Amino acid sequence: MSRNNLRRRALPALSLLSLAVCGGLHAEVPATQNDWGGIGLLQTPTARMAEEGEFAFTASHTSPYSRYNVAMQPFPWFEGIYRYVNVAGVPYGPESLSGDQNYKDKSIDFKVSLWNERRWLPAVAFGVRDFGGTGLFASEYLVASKRFGQLDASIGLATGYLGSNGDFRNPLRFIRDEFEIRPGTQGAGGFNSKLMFRGPVGIFGGLSWQTPWEPLLVKLEYDGHDYDKEARPRRVPVQIAQSSRINIGFNYSPTPGMRITLGWERGNELLASVAFYTNLKARPRQARWLDPLKRPLRSEIDSEAASTSSNAMQGEPPPFGGTISSTDQDGYPLLLGHTWESVDTELRRNAGFYVQKVEVNDHEVILHGTQLKYFYPTEGLGRAARVLDTAIDPSVDWVTLEYTRQNMPIAQSSVSRNALNAYAQGDIDLREMARHVEVNPPGSSREGEVVYEGPKGRRFDYHVSPGLNEIIGGPDGFFLYQLTANLHTSLRVNDSTWLTATTAVDVHNNFRKFKYDAPSNLPRVRTDIRHYVTTSDVTIPNLQVTTVHALGRDLYGMAYAGLLEMMYGGVGGELLYRPVGQRWALGVEANWVKQRDFGQKFSFRDYEVATGHATLYAHFGDDGRVQVATSAGRYLAGDWGVTLDVSRMFRNGVVMGAFATKTDVSSAEFGEGSFDKGIYLSVPMDLLLPRSSQVRSRLMWHPLVRDGGARLQRKYSLYSLTGERDSHFYFDNIEYIDP
């Protein structure tokens, strides 16, 4: 490339940077989403990052592309994006299969902050676009950003799509000649490693201006992509005219959590986009107006005696219980007017704790049972202590909950009543309160006298819930779905063994469009999904008997048999070693399963396989909130390999994660996608509802259903059943001991 040509192409970007120096010294420019869902300008990224914990959905359109992006910021230094791009004018497949559906391209991006902005140094980030897709938009870049008052200026260098303008030759050619030329696109789903850092290098950049009107941001950029070199999906020509490399956009925030952008790109195309975003790490809980009011502590009753007397005169009921001035020696430590039956009833209603038995020693009341209401264990503990505080003698200071699952002891948590009263009155702070809360293995408390045994739970239970089966991004239709009405039943055989069943009835679906069976070079262990969701209107996705047992202080076992999931039935078992308070656990599961018939009743097909995995669970980081689960073993198609699942769990329980599986199946055998992978978001419903709940909502983006790396979808796992052993999560949310 001639020196004059280089100057002509680079001059607009350098001019934009020089303009930034003239910015006034005012409010900081916010970091906002670009057309591709990441933090940036319009077509280009910047070195800025969203706030840790931000989740954003962005939809943008610049002909011929409509982009639908999901962005997550699990760490302050890491941005991840999953995307669908609709390419207008390019058919997804044959008209008999896909109708008039346009081609959909799936891709994954990431960006890593190398260092933050300092007084004299800009922020710098490295990123990869279309890292796990077809490579149509694949690019690697290094970008720097510097704020100058109301202006935020960025400039970057890129290979691939972002730098296809090719301002200068790739300097890595001095290492290997291959870096000089960038190969064409590859099959969908690979990591595009053969494309990375290859080809000429282009310049991109621009600036954002925070206008005096706070909701409005103006963006101006120099686009480093040459649209004459646009990739051709499915070998269909895509002609895109470009009359200018300068793009301009106006970003407007009508309300917190929403941004609208209108702009002009390529000198001839209208841009329109909308972004919805929220910070899940900092998201406050909803007001708990459907939860029962907390029981008053004895200190609160004393300080509000006059108010209580006034309420009684107005006909309002007195606080739970009766007289607290004297004791009934025959029922010690219960105070006069209380019975264990009334305490049990109030614990279920107010603390969500179902008592199996109560033990008492000289200084402690130990409640054995199950917590079924509060997502944060400290909240359940605090509420239970409040129920007992006005019902038992003040000389018994400690209240201990021993959590069980199906008669399997999990852990103990304890709180000092005196400390809780002092904290409620403001006499001690939260740090001091935390010193009076303990999490221990089950059985750690000194044995006491059993003074009460709770009623046995119902042997038979049932409930009805809606169900949704969906397939996103397939050639038959972008969104295929089925709504079902599900009847869930359970029968308790004994304290440790139970039978569960789910019956699903089709309510509405658009699976009539579902005609495509993906090609497979392996046993069809998952790619027959079309037949499973279209054969019968009434199915039995699950019917199994399960038994669990504590095999030692830190060792648990589970066995199960029946119709284990929609596609497989059989038998299996799991062992888990999980010490209380440790940042690691080790589990092993083994199964023999047979493929179920498409109608999902009681008949089976011929395929059978032995499958199982050993899994190491580990928490990393100062706060222990980086979770890594590494599983190695045999998958449903008989392939052997490893699954790596990495997630970030915030203090409030929100989880952002990703997984990938690589087995001894080659990329060619696996087919489109090369290997199994996906990203997910798990949000406690407790954050979203006006009542407490232990339920989680899980969103999964799984680009392709393939047979390689497929695992049995078990209903229960010992790791989730023993969640109270995570003392780090317990103390992360100590403030809920008395919210």
Higher pLDDT, 427 or 623: 427
Name residue 550's beta-bridge partners.
556
To the nearest 5 percent, what fractions of the chain are helix, strand and coil?
15, 45, 40
Has residue 306 got a pLDDT over 60?
Answer: no
CB 320: neighbour CB atoms within 10 A? 18
Find the helix packing angle between 377-389 and 417-424, rounded to 10°.
100
| Rg (alpha carbons) of the chain, rounded to whole number | 30
pLDDT at residue 638 is higher than 60: yes
- Over residues 605-612, the mean pLDDT reads 97
**Six-digit token string for 358:** 């109560």
Beta strands in 564-675 (DSSP E): 568-577, 584-596, 604-620, 626-634, 640-649, 655-663
Averaged confidence pLDDT in the chain: 89
The type of residue at 427 is: D
Rounded to an integer, the average pLDDT of 270-284 is 95
Per-residue pLDDT tens over the stretch 36-80: 999 999 999 999 999 999 999 999 999 999 999 999 999 999 999
pLDDT tens string 153-184? 999 999 999 999 999 998 888 888 888 888 77
Alpha-carbon dihedral angle through residues 266, 271, 274, 278, given to the nearest 10 degrees: 10
Q: What pLDDT score was predicted for residue 190?
A: 53
- Categorize the per-residue pLDDT at 552 as very low, low, confident or very high, splitting at 50, 70 and 90: very high
pLDDT in tens, 195-219: 788 889 999 999 999 999 999 999 9
Contact 98, 78 (CB under 8 A): no
Asked whether the beta carbons of 269 and 65 are under 8 A apart, the reply is no
- What's the confidence (pLDDT) of residue 191? 56
Mean pLDDT of 387-416: 94
At residue 276, does pLDDT exceed 70?
Answer: yes
Average pLDDT over every residue of 533-549: 96
pLDDT at residue 318 above 60? no
Whether residue 319 has pLDDT greater than 50: no
What local confidence, expressed as pLDDT, does residue 574 receive? Answer: 98
**For the residues 24-45, what does the mean pLDDT come to?**
87
Helical segments of 347-429, H only: 377-389, 417-424
Which phi and psi (to 5°) does residue 706 adopt? -130, 170
Length of the chain: 739
Least confident of 13-27, 93-107, 360-374: 13-27
The average pLDDT across 276-297 equals 93
The pLDDT score that the predictor gives to residue 23 is: 39
Asked if pLDDT for residue 315 goes beyond 50, the answer is no
Q: How many percent of the chain have pLDDT more than 70?
A: 90
Q: pLDDT tier at 187 (50, 70, 90 boundaries)?
A: low
pLDDT over 80 (residue 422):
yes
Nearest CA to 593 out of 489, 714, 483 is that of 714
Instruction: Tell me the whole-structure pTM to 2 decimals.
Output: 0.88
- What confidence tens digit (pLDDT) does each residue in 233-265 have? 766 777 789 999 999 999 999 999 999 999 999
